[in-house]
Amino acid sequence: MQDGVPSTHIYRHCLTLAKRQGRFWFVIVCLQVITACSILSPEVIPQPDFAPLQLSGSTLTLDAVPDLAPAPDLLAMDEEMKAFVARYASNLGSKRQRLSQLHRAIKSAGLLNIQYEPHAEGTAIEAFHRGSVNCLSYANMMVAMAREAGLDARYQWVDVRPHWSRMGERLAVRLHVNVLIKLNNGEEFMADIDPLQMREITNTRVISDKDAKALYHSNLAMAALAKEQLDTAWAHAVRALQFTPDMPHLWVNLGAVYRGTGQHDAAEESYLHALKLDSTDRSAMNNLIVLYGLDGRDEDQKHWQQQITRYQKANPYFHAWKGDLAGEEGDWSRALRHYQRALVLNPLDSRLLVSTGLIHAKLNELDEAERLIIQAIEHATLRIEVENYEFLLKEIKREPLDNAQTPLAGI
């Protein structure tokens, strides 16, 4: 924050091999590394109404986007990559064998030895030859190589409980992408370089290759914004929206660029457009609050502060976060009240159920703890979750949890 102005929220996207069969998912392999210019292609959706960027007396229009934000083919492969896939994955009959061998070859210290680095953006080719990846560049490489091996590989969006990290004067909200591989027999696997704890995941959905291109440019936009390279940031933010104009957070990021140049009207329009696409987008609301505070629009600022309060009250994970804070302070009665409120809003969430059960165990209310953890087991969708919850249930039945422990953060 600077001069008393709250940090605005921007978005960055980040990326274990896990299997789903029926309703159960379980981790079968875990990566040890845990956590040229082109013109607009025909698939790009034209957006002629972006406000030009006003910078130090100069004006940037859409004509500048191709030069400032070239759009490479994220999934292109060179001959060395194709030879790698042919050697380690293409000569096996079973698709499951191909996937397993490819994954082992990618993670092997004697072969690619891929390392995780949070800012290692890039295409599949760049990730392969550089040897360091972030979540999205790993997904680019894995999707490309898996498809080369004849596998049905797609990008997958993972909804997570909110996390923020600082980028310059701004707070970046972490979003997550991994890879979903489908086999002919109905089995599905997830490939992920930066695995999340199960409690962090709230939902998943497949996204298109075009969406992945948008996320790539959005990340580059936010990296440039953190360095105050506003022309590059604007070009990549626009490029992202040219690929996928219906992702609300891309509009939030564009608004952050406009605010950086003092174009408050354009920033406001971007934030409001994000809210048209998703009326619960908290980051758009937060950015409007900051913007209206700068402009002295007290009534508008008050309106969005009230909206955020309503959103928080209706969001079970906000109450769970409040419960976690209370648990860190050792106030388990207050933590229980917050988690009980979260369960009222989402009574079938296995992670909320087990956390609430653990709080009851802290309070030596073991019957209620067992009841809630049994419910969590019934509603869990990942095999690893079921196994973890069954272990906790055995521990609670054997003896009460040590009050010096704080188990919430690890569930």
**pLDDT tens readout for residues 207-220:** 999 999 999 999 99
Note the pLDDT tens digit of each residue in 165-196.
Answer: 444 445 445 678 889 999 888 788 888 876 66
CA atoms of 373 and 358, how far apart (whole Å): 8
Helix H or strand E segment including 285: helix 282-295
Spatial CA neighbour of 286 closest among 259, 307, 265: 307
Instruction: Tally Cβ neighbours within 10 Å of residue 269.
Output: 18
Q: Which two tokens stand for residue 133?
A: 């990846």
Note the pLDDT tens digit of each residue in 324-348.
Answer: 889 989 999 999 999 999 999 999 9
Task: Work out the mean pLDDT of the chain and round it to a whole number.
Answer: 81
pLDDT greater than 50 at residue 36: no
Note the pLDDT tens digit of each residue in 96-121.
Answer: 889 988 988 888 776 888 888 888 89
CA atoms of 286 and 307, how far apart (whole Å): 10
The pLDDT confidence band at residue 84, using thresholds 50, 70 and 90, is: very high
Spatial CA neighbour of 42 closest among 242, 297, 335: 242
Q: Which two tokens stand for residue 7?
A: 């940090």
Which pLDDT does position 37 carry in this prediction? Answer: 27
Question: Is there a contact between 136 and 15 (Cβ–Cβ < 8 Å)?
Answer: yes
The pLDDT confidence band at residue 128, using thresholds 50, 70 and 90, is: very high
CA atoms of 358 and 386, how far apart (whole Å): 15
Domains in the chain with CATH codes: 9-246 (no CATH), 316-410 (1.25.40.10)
Please, which residues have CB within 8 angstroms of residue 51's CB and are 6 or more apart in sequence? Answer: 258, 263, 265, 266, 269
- What's this model's pTM, rounded to 2 decimal places? 0.74
How much is the average pLDDT of 378-402?
A: 79
Q: Which two tokens stand for residue 378?
A: 């019934």
Share of the chain above pLDDT 90, in %: 54
CA atoms of 225 and 229, how far apart (whole Å): 6
DSSP state for residue 44 in the 8-state scheme? S
Which pLDDT does position 38 carry in this prediction? Answer: 28
Cα–Cα–Cα angle for 239, 243, 246, nearest 5°? 110
pLDDT greater than 80 at residue 79: yes
DSSP state for residue 198 in the 8-state scheme? G
Which pLDDT does position 167 carry in this prediction? Answer: 43
Which pLDDT does position 34 carry in this prediction? Answer: 20
